[in-house]
Amino acid sequence: MAWRLRVVHDTTYNYESEVRASFNELRMTPLSDEHQILIQHRTSISPTAPLFSYEDYWGTTVHSFDLQTPHTTLSVTVENLVDTSAAAEVATAFAATWADLSNLMLTDSVCEYLPLTALVDAVEHGIDIRSYTTPLDAVLALSEALREHITYTPGATHVHTSASVAWAQKKGVCQDFTNIMLSILRSAGIPARYVSGYLYSGSGEIGETIVGESHSWVEAWLGSWLPIDPTNGRGVGEQHIAVAKGRDYHDVSPMSGVFTGGRSREVCATVSLTRLPR
């Protein structure tokens, strides 16, 4: 069943003192692929500035802008309208064997999703991923196992917490579930990438608006990309909106940049999601 979702993502930076200039990049435009279609997109900035758009190395749409006038507040509102579809059937498309994953001729195009990173670092997990008959079995079992070891705890970590730290403290949020699963899969030779986006967690009634937040999940390469949400122990379906994909959070950060002048800054971000009739 297909859904239509509207997402409004507001971000405001309040600077302690005047900023003379800033350069910023936004990764807040949903992808269009076999799972979803972007119907409408709008980005508003205050103070106003021209937006430049391009696709980065990982296939994510980036909007960049620079402000050359002094400012103490920067506000960005991004509105998206997206049609999504139900979770993919776990079928022959994900039938890669362990031998297939060891074949460099087959995995060459996805080899960049095998190395560990500063955030997706080695985890002393004790899980024998290779004991499963197929990589698909391993991925599905690992998604369930993580929820037995990690307790979802808002505020327990931050976006720069590594997989090993979250695993050791046994609590975290969506990016921690994602980082840990990426670490274990990559260490077992399964290419896997980080996906950022949104999750509608309401009742599903038409017209219902919920307060949301950014979300993340995993895509594992098993002959083709299988999306799976380890935080919720489920496939990725009509309630998920994918925005960016990469090796870890550093490749998909919704908003990043640099500024001159000013000192500390306070960030306030809100997300609302509404299910609309098609």
Domain shared by 130 and 221, yes or no: yes
Q: Is residue 159 part of a domain?
A: yes
List phi, psi (to 5°) of 125: -100, -30
Two tokens at 86? 């139900």
Q: What is the pLDDT of residue 265?
A: 81
Instruction: Give the start-end residues of each E strand in the chain.
Output: 3-26, 36-46, 52-55, 61-67, 71-84, 151-152, 171-172, 192-199, 209-212, 214-221, 225-229, 234-235, 240-246, 255-261, 265-276
CB-CB neighbours of 173 under 10 Å:
22
pLDDT tens track for 145-202: 999 999 999 999 999 999 999 999 999 999 999 999 999 999 999 999 999 999 999 9
List phi, psi (to 5°) of 89: -70, 135
CA atoms of 126 and 83, how far apart (whole Å): 40
Tell me the one-letter amino acid at 222.
Answer: L
Q: How many domains does the chain have?
A: 2
CA atoms of 147 and 112, how far apart (whole Å): 27
Domain shared by 111 and 236, yes or no: yes
Domain shared by 114 and 58, yes or no: no
Residues of the chain with pLDDT under 70: 88-93
Q: What is the pLDDT of residue 93?
A: 65
CA atoms of 48 and 55, how far apart (whole Å): 22
Partners of 210 in the β-ladder: 273
Domain that holds residue 260: 3-64+74-84+253-276
Give the CATH number of the domain where residue 173 resides.
3.10.620.30
Domain shared by 212 and 100, yes or no: yes
Two tokens at 228? 């799976």
CA atoms of 236 and 163, how far apart (whole Å): 22
Q: Is residue 119 part of a domain?
A: yes
CB 84 within 8 A of CB 241: yes
Domain shared by 232 and 259, yes or no: no
Two tokens at 211? 């307060």
Q: What is the pLDDT of residue 90?
A: 59
Q: What is the pLDDT of residue 87?
A: 78
